[in-house]
Amino acid sequence: MTYNTSCLLLPLALIFLDIILISSLAHPIPTTLNVLSYGAKQDGSTDSTKAFLAAWDAACASANPTTIIVPTGRFLVGNLVFQGHECKRAPISIRIAGSIVAPGDFRVIASSEHWISFEDVTDVSIYGGILDAQGTSLWNCKNSGGDNCPTGAKSLVFTGSNNIIINGLTSINSQKFHIVFDNSNNVNIDGVKVSADVNSPNTDGIHVESSHSVHITNSRIGTGDDCISIGPGSTNLFIQNIQCGPGHGISIGSLGRLEEEQGVYNVTVSNVDFMGSSNGVRIKTWGKNSKSFARNIVFQHITMKMVKNPIIIDQHYCLKKPCPKQESGVEISNVRYEDIHGTSNTEVAVMLDCSKEKPCTGIVMNDVNLVSVNRPAQASCDNANGLANDVVPFTPCLKSEIITT
């Protein structure tokens, strides 16, 4: 009997084709794009803004996971806005081996609120690289009292975004805030380095506002303002293994600028070294009417080295004199301080300056030992209630916790 092998081969070929097609759908082939292919130059003087935007547009249009490569060299870019609302929503990874630098004339990017912005993106990750906003000349303008100094641009901003990873990025010399997350969810920041001069105004290292499930770990931050600042509407934040200094410490707030304002809750700050900063762990609120709040906050396993205000709650925060003669309406409750040791650069190592209208409640301190150089440290306490166990300096507004075995 004779078999027609061609009749057998055709169905087999169709089966193999289906297998390949199904496999490709289940495991999309990643795409790699190099900004050099879109006209970017590595000389630090040729404007590569359009090249970066073109690479993003190509990645955005891809249904496959895409990696944008920024190779070694210095890439000059102006204001960049990466839009995500029309993307295919496949993951986009940006791997930076070199430096991305802003124009030397600070006015070029200072006319915008941000230098590099991601809006409405999902599943975006940034690995490595240096962002240099060259903000020194703007700092000098502001510090000299110039009347025509712009506010400045934030270096890297994510707005309305989800599932964001930043790993190994270095941000230096920002005009204003370095890294900002606004109205974003599921953010992981690891191994970041942030650096600006101690006299650089408003150069917060990492700022989180109206965002949820944010993890900031294993990072070194030294700036002229807060190392990490947490604004209204932020929930479920985890901050661990941070070196902070110089700067204004890690701050929740300022809260209560507006009467109708979301609160902050579920924040854990753990394993932090503060070195020469003007504050350590701080909660600050405006002295005015507000429906905002801060609750369920944990500060633990912290070392202070010559910190001006190691532990501070300031509910009479005010930038310009005269300050409004009102009590803060922000409710602060369930704040825990555990295993905090080190040195204060001032006599008052613990300051709990709470509101008469809404006293702080549920303040708990365990295993706190702060000393002032060459003299005993003190605590200042107003309108705060809670418990203390093994706390130095003695904090009179907190009752001694009785521990039974």
Interval 320-339 mean pLDDT: 89
Interval 247-269 mean pLDDT: 96
From the number of C-beta atoms within 10 Å of its C-beta (0-12, 13-18, 19+), residue 291 rates as middle
pLDDT given for residue 27 in this prediction = 55
Indicate the range of 28-42, 191-205, 262-276, 277-291 predicted with least confidence. 28-42
- Judged against a pLDDT cut of 70, whether residue 12 lies above it is answered with no
- What phi, psi does 142 have (nearest 5°)? -65, -45
d(CA 84, CA 297): 33
pLDDT given for residue 125 in this prediction = 98
- Judged against a pLDDT cut of 80, whether residue 9 lies above it is answered with no
Say how many residues make up the chain.
405
Q: Which of 27, 248, 316, 341 is catalytic?
A: 248
Give SS3 for 39.
coil
Give the residue from 397, 282, 229, 259 showing the smallest Cα distance to 329: 259
Give the residue from 217, 220, 228 showing the smallest Cα distance to 181: 228
- Judged against a pLDDT cut of 80, whether residue 14 lies above it is answered with no
Indicate the pLDDT class of residue 319, thresholds 50, 70 and 90.
confident
Indicate the pLDDT class of residue 15, thresholds 50, 70 and 90.
very low
According to DSSP, the residues that pair with 341 across neighbouring strands are: 303, 369
The residues, any chain, with a CB within 8 Å of residue 236's CB and separated by 6 or more, are: 212, 213, 214, 266
Residues 119-164: pLDDT tens digits? 999 999 999 999 999 999 999 999 998 778 999 999 999 999 999 9
Indicate the range of 22-26, 79-83, 89-93, 331-335 predicted with least confidence. 22-26
Report residue 9 as tokens: 């081969």
Interval 253-265 mean pLDDT: 95
Interval 265-290 mean pLDDT: 96
Interval 211-237 mean pLDDT: 98
- Judged against a pLDDT cut of 80, whether residue 63 lies above it is answered with yes
Q: Determine if residue 279 is left, alpha or beta; phi over 0 gives left, psi from -120 to 50 gives alpha, anything else beta.
A: beta
- Judged against a pLDDT cut of 80, whether residue 181 lies above it is answered with yes
pLDDT given for residue 326 in this prediction = 85
Task: Give, as one character, the DSSP assignment of residue 323.
Answer: P
Indicate the pLDDT class of residue 322, thresholds 50, 70 and 90.
confident
- What phi, psi does 48 have (nearest 5°)? -110, 15
- 215 carries an active-site annotation: no
pLDDT given for residue 28 in this prediction = 62
Indicate the range of 24-28, 95-99, 378-382 predicted with least confidence. 24-28
pLDDT given for residue 114 in this prediction = 97
Please check whether residue 232 is in contact with residue 262, taking contact to mean a CB–CB distance below 8 angstroms: yes
pLDDT given for residue 402 in this prediction = 55
d(CA 71, CA 97): 5
Interval 41-63 mean pLDDT: 97
Task: Evaluate the CA torsion angle 78, 84, 88, 90 in order and state its sign.
Answer: positive
The residues, any chain, with a CB within 8 Å of residue 4's CB and separated by 6 or more, are: none
Question: 1 or 102: whose pLDDT is higher?
Answer: 102
pLDDT given for residue 303 in this prediction = 98
Interval 291-300 mean pLDDT: 97
d(CA 224, CA 212): 26
Residues 78-91: pLDDT tens digits? 999 999 999 998 99
d(CA 195, CA 200): 10
Residue at 283: amino acid letter: I
Please check whether residue 363 is in contact with residue 385, taking contact to mean a CB–CB distance below 8 angstroms: yes
| Distance, CA of 168 to chain centre | 14
pTM assigned to the model: 0.92
Interval 73-79 mean pLDDT: 98
Report residue 70 as tokens: 């920024």
